[in-house]
Amino acid sequence: MSTARAPGTRSAATTGTSAKKAATRKRGAKTRRPADRPDTGRGARRTGLLTAMLRIRRFEERCVELYSAAKIRGFVHLYIGEEAVAVGVNEALGPEDAVVSTYREHGHALARGIPAEAVMAEMHGRTTGCSGGRGGSMHLFDASRRFYGGNAIVAGGLPLAAGLALADRMRGQEHVTCCFFGDGAFAEGEFHETANLAALWNLPLLLVCENNLYAMGTGIERHEAQTDLAMRAASYGMVAWAVDGMDVEAVEDAARRATEAVRAGAGPHFLELRTYRFRAHSMYDPDRYRDRTEVEQWKGRDPIGRLTERMRENGELEDAELARIERQVTDEIDRAVDAAAEAPEEPVENLLRHVTSASISSAEVR
Amino acid sequence: MAGDGRPEERGTTYRQAMREALREALRSDDRVFLMGEDVGRYGGCFGVSLGLLEEFGPARVRDTPLSESGFVGAGIGAALAGMRPVVEVMTVNFSLLALDQILNNAATLLHMSGGQLPVPLVIRMTTGAGRQLGAQHSHSLEGWYAHIPGLRVLAPATVEDARHMLAPALADPDPVLIFEHVTLYNASGEIAPSTAPVDLDHAVTRRPGTDISLITYGGSLPKALAAADELATEGIDAEVIDLRTLRPLDDAAVTASVARTHRAVVIDEAWRTGSLAAEISARIAEEAFYELDAPVERVCSAEVPIPYARRLEEAALPQTADIVAAAHRTVG
Ligand SMILES: Cc1ncc(C[n+]2csc(CCOP(=O)(O)OP(=O)(O)O)c2C)c(N)n1
Ligand SMILES: [Mg+2]
């Protein structure tokens, strides 16, 4: 199932025993553009991908500064290095599709189109935040974009995603639910229960495992007996591919094919995206468990650097254009930070709001 | 360190004290082992077990996958087979993934087996709020565990208790849960070299007083002591009772204090409804009703998932000012 566009894509254990699934995969394959046909829109598409990744990168670099300045608090988990995953996968999703995410979700949220202003304000704990300041970095939500959070219980979003997919299926909607989770989540029962349910019920679910090789300080070979995650997912009877998660176009390609198949009724698909976080697990993590040379090696595969290079080689990116993109995202983030700093904090009298749907108006807080 | 007869360092932190307790346990009993997420190479998510892997090796300081139900259950099994596991769960919110094992196995095996299968297991976890970690990392659910017969539930609130509650917990033939409030790890204090193991059956008076009893535990103890200091400036002499053990509750200590002061404020970071504070208030009503000069007051968290925004989080939690205000209402 790998394509010319995706050199890092390894076709992993691809199962799916039903004839229906096989037929869907074939149909999906036919609709793809042959690799040799020139693609006129390619440069523009790549510019879009680059801009989306840079937005996430610069946004989070600003978060680090703001965290040091104590404007942002709590646990903050950076996505730096993993941007290709959120951006590539999002390309394959439509506005009607649903997304379920983790606590490392700034990238997912921004790629989904939640404005930087709303995310930044959330991290400042302001009413204008995408969760009204109640959630913070780990709990970004946007119902209007079917972005269902922002879950800080490892693997906690997976069953929820199965339910979203189930509801869409029961109501005859051709939507896909995309659930992001880490390699660490693979060890939780909730992952395995969800994988089985989804395969058993043929749910329209795209499982996106961001394998960054670590669950906090524990390397994957120290938390998984079998580290070939795609193969294990395939054992549930779903199609599963391992993909180079540092190549945004490889991610996009795999995600498009998987999403297309899921939408067509081929049941859940699993993508193992091999990626790496360049920063520590969270702002609290002294990062003592990783070899510096390992980190540096992965930095050499920076998804932003790789796409930039590819575009330059193809004459698709001038220096001036790159500078323009940088300015654009920096302006956007500047505006977001300014707006967050000026946004109102919620008055303490509102503390008991949003506990039940019948909003409690009592000023008595305890 | 008390364990090998050397004097304790002055200014030990709660985190260090807990680490010393673990070190002593690992040294003195080869049935003891520590397991949990990132307890080894990482040193524990709050740094409690830093250095223990190097000292005791990976067989006795075991990093686990993210499988709370699995490794807590495995701890129960190992305890059945004669080991003395200390299982660390990162926070009480995550322990809910292991609640089935804790309730349906650890707490019930002895009874279901007609007394054949004791479970000598210690489970440690953090609890509580105050660091803007939001609604999936900040709750105080120790009261849920204190609801369960078959468990002993501890809440060390001081550096000395952090140092000296583990040994008696390990000596207990039944499952013991230890709740470490997340805001206490950096607290420092002194540990007397000769401190005896803590008596797990009794509450302790942290500050004697005659006018009002402030009854609390864990992360709320420093706030209660601060409130007592403030009340003292107004001439109100508050007694502060640290429950230490949340199950079984030391009713006699609470009743005796109320019999002295005739007024009680119960401070509990959990939500008020169905809380330990409710249980303690009920027991005071049952056992010391005629001693009371005023209704019992409770200072608990607001009935809301703990919000991220700083001001809201502060407002949601019991604060010193709230305790003082409750004391004023009681003294009237
Ligand atoms: C049920 C549960 N257990 C433990 C934690 C603490 N924790 C938060 S993130 C994390 C590591 C998760 O690793 P992975 O799933 O690979 O995601 P990554 O952080 O690498 O993106 C741990 C142990 C948690 N949030 N939830
Ligand atoms: Mg990971």
Determine the Cα–Cα distance for residues B327 and B332; give it in Å rounded to an integer: 8
A31 in any annotated domain = no
Domain B12-189 bears CATH identifier 2.120.10.30: no
Please state, as a whole number, how many other Cβ atoms lie within 10 Å of the Cβ of residue B286.
10
A8 in any annotated domain = no
> In sequence order, which residues have a C-beta less than 8 Å from that of residue B314 and are 6 or more positions away?
none
Mutation to probe ligand 1, out of B64, B66, B90 (largest number of atoms < 8 A from CB): B66
Average pLDDT value for chain A: 90
DSSP label at residue B150? T
pLDDT values of chain B reduced to their tens digit, one per residue, 332 residues: 333 333 344 589 999 999 999 999 999 999 999 999 999 999 999 999 999 999 999 999 999 999 999 999 999 999 999 999 999 999 999 999 999 999 999 999 999 999 999 999 999 999 999 999 999 999 999 999 999 999 999 999 999 999 999 999 999 999 999 999 999 999 999 888 766 788 999 999 999 999 999 999 999 999 999 999 999 999 999 999 999 999 999 999 999 999 999 999 999 999 999 999 999 999 999 999 999 999 999 999 999 999 999 999 999 999 999 999 999 999 98
Q: Residue A31's pLDDT is what?
A: 41
Q: For residue B132, give the nearest of A73, A218, A365 by CB distance.
A: A73
Q: How many domains does chain A have?
A: 1
For A234-268, the pLDDT digits (tens) are 999 999 999 999 999 999 999 999 999 999 999 99
**Mean pLDDT confidence for A37-55:** 88
Mutation to probe ligand 1, out of A151, A154, A207, A278 (largest number of atoms < 8 A from CB): A154
Tell me if A217 and B41 make a contact (CB, 8 A cut-off). Answer: yes
- Asked if B193 and B147 count as a contact pair (C-beta separation under 8 A), the reply is no
Q: Is A212 in the pocket of ligand 1 (CB under 6 A)?
A: yes
Question: Chain centroid to CA B60: how far?
Answer: 24
Share of residues in chain B with pLDDT > 90 (%): 94
Tell me if B315 and A135 make a contact (CB, 8 A cut-off). Answer: no
Residue A338 belongs to what domain range?
13-24+40-364
B320-331 in b/e burial notation, b at 16+ Cβ within 10 A? bebbbebbeebb
Determine the Cα–Cα distance for residues A164 and A157; give it in Å rounded to an integer: 11
Average pLDDT value for chain B: 95
Interval between CA B163 and ligand 1 midpoint (Å): 29
Q: For residue B302, give the nearest of A135, A155, A352 by CB distance.
A: A352
Going by C-alpha positions, the residue among A106, A131, A112, A233 that lies closest to residue A178 is A112
The answer to whether residue B10 neighbours chain A at the CB level (below 8 Å) is no
A2 in any annotated domain = no
Burial of A362 (0-12, 13-18, 19+ CB in 10 A): exposed
Interval between CA A198 and ligand 2 midpoint (Å): 22
List of chain B residues whose C-beta atoms are within 8 Å of the C-beta of residue A155: 66
Determine the Cα–Cα distance for residues B131 and B184; give it in Å rounded to an integer: 11
Interval between CA B75 and ligand 2 midpoint (Å): 25
For B276-308, the pLDDT digits (tens) are 999 999 999 999 999 999 999 999 999 999 999
> In sequence order, which residues have a C-beta less than 8 Å from that of residue A83 and are 6 or more positions away?
A52, A53, A56, A57, A107, A248, A303, A304
Q: Residue B11's pLDDT is what?
A: 85
> In sequence order, which residues have a C-beta less than 8 Å from that of residue A93 and are 6 or more positions away?
A99, A112, A176, A178, A255, A259
Please count the residues of chain A: 366
A6 in any annotated domain = no
Torsion angles phi and psi, residue A133, rounded to 5: 85, 0
Positions of B annotated as catalytic residues are 68, 137
The residue behind tokens 């360190």 is B1
The answer to whether residue B131 neighbours chain A at the CB level (below 8 Å) is yes
For B169-218, the pLDDT digits (tens) are 999 999 999 999 999 999 999 888 766 788 999 999 999 999 999 999 99
Please name the residues between 237 and 266 in chain B that touch chain A, using a CB distance below 8 Å: none
A to B CB pairs, distance under 8 Å:
136
Q: Residue B269's pLDDT is what?
A: 98
Mutation to probe ligand 1, out of B90, B92, B125 (largest number of atoms < 8 A from CB): B90
Q: Residue A206's pLDDT is what?
A: 98
Atom of ligand 1 minimally distant from the CA of A104? 21
**Mean pLDDT confidence for A116-143:** 98
CATH number at residue A102: 3.40.50.970
- Among the listed ranges A90-94, A119-123, A285-289, which one has the minimum average pLDDT value? A285-289
Residue A152 DSSP SS3: coil
Q: Residue A362's pLDDT is what?
A: 46
Higher pLDDT, A4 or A348: A348
pLDDT at residue A106 greater than cutoff 80:
yes
Ligand 1 atom 25 nearest Cα: A153
Q: How confident is the model at residue A358 (pLDDT cuts 50, 70, 90)?
A: confident
- Asked if B149 and B102 count as a contact pair (C-beta separation under 8 A), the reply is no
Q: For residue B316, give the nearest of A131, A156, A351 by CB distance.
A: A351
**Mean pLDDT confidence for A38-65:** 93
List of chain A residues whose C-beta atoms are within 8 Å of the C-beta of residue B272: 366
Query: For the structural domain made of B204-331, what CATH number should be given?
Result: 3.40.50.920
Torsion angles phi and psi, residue B313, rounded to 5: -60, -45
Q: How far B37 CA lies from chain A's nearest CA (Å)?
A: 8
User: Domain limits of chain B?
Assistant: 12-189, 204-331
The answer to whether residue B311 neighbours chain A at the CB level (below 8 Å) is yes
List the single residue in B with minimal CA-CA distance to A346. B312
Q: How far apart are the first and last CA of chain B?
A: 47
Atom of ligand 1 minimally distant from the CA of A220? 16
SS3 of B258-322: the string is HHHHCCEEEEEEEECCCCHHHHHHHHHHHHHHHHCCCCCEEEEECCCCCCCCHHHHHHHCCCHHH
Interval between CA A182 and ligand 2 midpoint (Å): 5
